[in-house]
């Protein structure tokens, strides 16, 4: 692979990545999307933007956002989501329930999986729905 900024890994390779590995990638994808969304919506200073980003990327918020898109997922996406939710995590943040953390991990795994497949349009579509916006084509 030559372009690590826009990867498109083969299906077999992605299947070899653990759910936790996909969630690790998806965490970064979601963080970047949230920061982009905050910049696009303006008005946030450095400290304010950081606080807003933290509020949006926490497990509770991610679990809430996952609920908005779950009915819209394809069968393959649902399978990735379930796999992420069932990942064996050993620590759960104090401010989140195990169920919320599982949903957040599932969302991150899905985003990581889509990103590594090169499906940025689908990620944007789902993110806009999570953020209650209409997706815009490029």
Residues marked as catalytic: 27
Residues 69/129, Cβ–Cβ less than 8 Å: yes
């Amino acid at each position: 692979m030559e372009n690590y900024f826009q990867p498109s890994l083969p299906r077999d390779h992605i299947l070899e990545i653990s759910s936790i590995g996909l969630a690790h990638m998806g965490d970064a994808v979601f963080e970047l999307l949230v920061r982009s969304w905050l910049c696009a919506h303006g008005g946030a200073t450095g400290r304010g933007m950081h606080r807003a980003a933290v509020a949006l990327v926490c497990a509770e918020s991610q679990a809430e956002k996952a609920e908005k898109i779950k009915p819209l997922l394809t069968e393959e996406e649902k399978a990735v989501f379930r796999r992420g939710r069932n990942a064996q995590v050993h620590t759960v943040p104090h401010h989140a329930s195990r169920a919320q953390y599982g949903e957040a991990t599932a969302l991150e795994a899905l985003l990581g999986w889509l990103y590594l497949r090169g499906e940025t349009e689908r990620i944007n579509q789902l993110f806009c729905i999570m953020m209650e916006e209409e997706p815009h084509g490029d």
